[in-house]
Amino acid sequence: MTSAVLAVERETNVGMGQIAVVGRDQVARSVLGSCIGVVLYDERRCLGAFAHVVLPASGGRAGSPGKFADTAVPFMLEALRKAGADPKSVLAKITGGSNMFSADGPFQIGKQNADAVRAQFKAANIRLVAEHLGGTSGRRVTFHPDTALLEIECVGQQVVVI
């Protein structure tokens, strides 16, 4: 059984459903399609948690806490607190949620994921300071806890930093 929080290296790739807590001189990276990259961070302590959220709600199902929006956010908050962050200082940024196959229809998982994550922030009283969502392209993202900056690369576009 794998741990719910990834063991971090200087550069940690966060896969689907995984969570990494990163600190000074470390970065968390991921490639996102319709999933949401959720970053919670305490800028003063240079600490951040990155989750690669796959689906909006667990519905009570077991599984990695990072897989669902409703389990990832409380888990990240607790992991940050354990790592020394002040929960009252924690802010959030989110990215991802694209529709790479440009499919129409009512099942738009990227948007549902983003809405579910925002609802969790509201419930936990976490301020969402920036977001970069939607579109039809994938994203390669890198979070730097030293600066609290999230770098977002979409193919053929300028790098966006939020």
Partner 1 sequence: MNSPTSSASSCIPWERIFEPATQSASVALGKWTRGRISLSLDEVRETSLDEVAASLPPGDEPVTMVIVGVSGEVSGQLILTFDDRSVGELIAVLLNRQVGPSETWGELEMSALAETGNIFGSAYLNAMSQCAGRRLLPSPPVIVRDYAAGALEQAVMMQALDSDEVLFCRTCLAGSGNAINVTAFFVPTVEMLALLRDSLSDAHLAAR
Quick note: the x/- pattern for partner 1 over 68-97, rule CB under 8 A, is ------------------------------
Q: With binding defined as CB under 8 A, does residue 161 bind partner 1?
A: no
Joined together, the tokens standing for residue 72 give: 């990832």
Q: With binding defined as CB under 8 A, does residue 7 bind partner 1?
A: no
The correct pick among 26, 95, 98, 120 for binding partner 1 (CB under 8 A) is 98
Q: With binding defined as CB under 8 A, does residue 54 bind partner 1?
A: yes
Q: With binding defined as CB under 8 A, does residue 109 bind partner 1?
A: yes
The correct pick among 33, 83, 124, 149 for binding partner 1 (CB under 8 A) is 33
In DSSP notation, 43-107 reads TTTTEEEEEEE-BS--TT--S-GGGBHHHHHHHHHHHHHHHT--GGG-EEEEEE---TT---SS-
Concerning whether 46 is annotated as a catalytic residue, the answer is: no
Residues designated as active site: 35
